[in-house]
Structure 1
């Protein structure tokens, strides 16, 4: 199976890269460059499954860790007692929150699971995003988090993995140093006829998660 190393703006076809692919894992990782005694760095992965109007069809298609608080979730079978948000069609299963970015070697910090065949027909794109969690949403209510940005992060990547085989199909390593921005649209899955394609976006914003919520909801 081909393993594509993507640059910003590049696209590839999932059906051509892995014929018959049905279920994928979207993994993301990063290394926070924390200062001794500084605020804790918490990044969150989210997704917006949007239609032709560039809006989510319903609230469940904004997939982020906070969705578990309204009961739209399932218990993860691999990590007992941890819960993942899930869309109402059951196609997109969101990430378990990793508050510090200190993953074990070879593991992603956070991941999403997507069953491509089950995605609601109204959904034309799935935008995968990464944002810096800031006061007052951070665990320790530390106002210093308001100054955090992606310029303080290294080794940030997104990758597409065949969920059945565990093989990595494509990977995009973020090269830009965003010294003011705190939200990134990292990549998107989009329909191309009857198949799905992936684009490495690397589009950054200020305003953290709320900016993206305002764009797509």
Structure 2
């Protein structure tokens, strides 16, 4: 199993078409902080084609079936990516996490990514633990490059929450 540092990139094996990305975090605080894991299916301009390309707790499945979010545990979420179902005009899938106002990833601690094949075989892992004052964090990006799919451990954070992050990717957010 490969360990990917922040910013690290790896080509995904061509024969594997389904991937599971488990996003985990320390369970700190009483009660524990709610971490929202989301995904954006974006075009060449790094924007969603429509608001339905925003996968989150109220819309956990992309219309194409390409990305599905599974919730249920207090310290992890799973994003399943089915590459065969990704529309041709989607260039990348960005997986991110956000916190409620008043909380930061510096207080939550390191976010762990475990990437498995569709059969559940561990393929790579990454720990993103350099966040300080960020309320939202880009965790990973699965994207097309030269006819192949690649995985990048991102670790880029912002000092704003879910609504602002969604707008950054072109989602229209109601006030």
TM-score (norm 2): 0.91
Q: Which residue of 1 aligns with 2:105?
A: 150
2:124 alignment partner, SS class: strand
CA contact (8 A) 2:131 2:157 kept: no
Alpha-carbon distance, 1:181 to partner: 1.0
* 1:162-203 deviation digits (Å, cap 9, x = unpaired): 012x1111111012141x211000110000122100111100
1:55-92 Cα deviation digits (max 9, x unpaired): 1112221000122xxxxxxxxxxxxxxxxx21111111
Structure 2: how far apart are the matches of 1:215 and 1:196?
Answer: 23
CA distance in 2, matches of 1:32, 1:150: 12
| 1:28 alignment counterpart | 23
CA-based RMSD: 1.5
> Shift in Å at residue 211 of structure 1?
2.0
Larger Rg, first or second structure (1 or 2): 1
Q: Which 4+ runs in 1 deviate beyond 6 A?
A: none
Which ranges in structure 2 are unaligned for 5 or more consecutive residues?
171-175
Q: Which residue of 1 aligns with 2:169?
A: 216
**Alignment size in residue pairs:** 170
Contact preservation (8 Å) 1:25, 1:112: yes
Q: Which has the higher helix share?
A: 1
- In structure 2, the partner of 1:6 is 4
Query: Could you tell me which of 110, 117, 130 is aligned with 1:176?
Result: 130
* 1:110 paired to 2:77: yes
Q: 1:97 to 1:205 in 2, by over 3 A?
A: farther
Partner of 2:71: 96
Cα distance, 1:155 vs. partner? Answer: 4.0
Q: Structure 1-normalised TM-score?
A: 0.74
Which residue among 104, 117, 120 is the counterpart of 1:162?
117
- Report the CA distance between 1:32 and its aligned residue: 3.2
1:50-199 superposed matches below 5 A: 50-67=42-59, 85-98=60-73, 100-101=74-75, 109-132=76-99, 134=100, 146-164=101-119, 166-178=120-132, 180-199=133-152
